[in-house]
Homo-oligomer: A and B are copies of this chain.
Amino acid sequence: MINMFKKELMHVGEMASGVKLTVPVYSYKPEQSTAPNVYIQANMHGAEVQGNAVIFQLLELLKECNIQANITLVPYANPIACNHKNGEYTLGRFDPITGVNWNRMYHFDDGIIAPFVEQHIDATEAEIQTDFEQLLLDQIEDKLDHNMWGLTTGQRIAYQLQRMAHQADLVLDLHTGPISSKHLYCPEYIKASASYFDIPHTIFIPNDFDGAMDEATFCPWWSLQQAFESHGRNFTMGKGAFAKESFTVELGTQEQIDLVVAHEDALSILSYLQYKGVIAGNNESANLPKDFLPQQMTRYACYLKDYKALYAPMGGMVDYLAEFGKPLAAGEPLARILRMDNYSSESSVDGGPLHNICLDSEVLPILHFASASVNQGTELYKVFINYFEL
């Protein structure tokens, strides 16, 4: 038996020529959902395309899985970003008109928390869950509902995606870095989940809302839990009504599609979904492993405050040296910057043509800038400090 995913087109915008932009939504609902519902989207940033291939492989693999909950899969989440090339590359991180990061336009107004807690201080956990989810959905509906002043282009896309995500318990937003190792943004309260992904680097993030999809789906619940706690009613984040898990999954390097690697990434996600009971495991199909289990690997993690960006101390041409995921000792060069304008056959003028870029503490390199040429102040590398094994 093959699970049939339903396909729908969601209308998310209109360009100047009148062309309508749509996003395909693939969904499966078992007769009864007995496990956490799942929402997975890809390609909110235009150049970060590999998630589309992962959704392809997930759809192929899920055909023969024993699915226990609703699953919604959304590739091409942002057709404007995906279709916008300048030169040969995709200008995909921000709205080309306004500069606003497409992944900073989701909605959460923490002003809703206090009144809700007051109203529900004696409600059952089930009521809290139902009513708060409804409140979050109402907030989005209210935004999307045509108001006189309108919405920005990015909000119109983001809110429609968020409306689907709020109806799920497990949310995966598939991104990539520029040139990057695989890494995972994971809320601090569900550390255990990080080990079920085949991803060697995890950043644990706190309850700060900055407009991203993952934050927009877990921060409201975390804020709610904390507000109840301050009123003397204790729930545990990640459990019961608060069993909300959201991740930003960074699949590696942008501007690349690799269907073979996408198959591996799909297995990694299915490992997590089996752990959460969304798929039953014990597969009988010859096309599937018996169970989706995480791979053995060293998994490093750090807290968000220890995930550091290094900005180029000078303009120049960069030979990136440090390998991702390999601890780099203090004083070892991450990169060499070539400055041919300073070359001299004689002694070094203006510091000479080659400059090693070093740090004075051990780091774990995670990603680097996408181009070999940088301005002074361009983000060169992102690295873990104070990292630890999971």
Contact = CB atoms under 8 A, between A and B. Distances in A.
A251 to B, nearest CB: 12
B257 A14 contact: no
A240 interface: no
A17 to B, nearest CB: 4
Given A149-B309, A370-B88, A371-B90, A56 B338 contact: yes
Nearest to A340: B75
Interface string A354-390: 1000011000000001111111111100000000000
A52 interface: yes
A258 B335 CA distance: 11
A153 interface: yes
Interface string A80-116: 1011111111111111111111000000000000000
B83 A345 contact: no
A314 interface: yes
Given A18-B76, A19-B22, A19-B79, A377 B345 contact: no
A315 B16 contact: yes
Contacts of A5: 345
Interface in A225-248: none
Contact-residue size bin, chain A (C-beta under 8 Å from the other chain): 35 or more
Contact of A338 (B52, B148, B155): B52
A99 B93 contact: yes
Contacts of A47: 87, 371, 373
A345 B79 contact: no
Give the residue among A13, A95, A101, A377 with the most B Cβ atoms within 10 A: A377
Contacts of A137: none
Nearest to A353: B56
A312 interface: yes
Contacts of A338: 52-53, 56, 257, 259
A284 interface: no
Given A16-B316, A22-B19, A256-B372, A86 B91 contact: yes
A153 B308 CA distance: 16
Nearest to A97: B85
Interface of A: 2-5, 7, 13-19, 21-22, 24, 26, 46-47, 49-50, 52-53, 55-56, 59, 63, 75-76, 79-80, 82-101, 146, 148-156, 178, 255-259, 308-319, 336, 338-346, 353-354, 359-360, 369-379
23 contacts: A3-B345, A7-B343, A15-B82, A16-B373, A18-B342, A24-B343, A52-B317, A52-B340, A53-B319, A75-B340, A75-B343, A76-B341, A87-B89, A87-B93, A88-B370, A93-B98, A95-B99, A99-B100, A148-B359, A150-B313, A151-B377, A153-B378, A258-B319
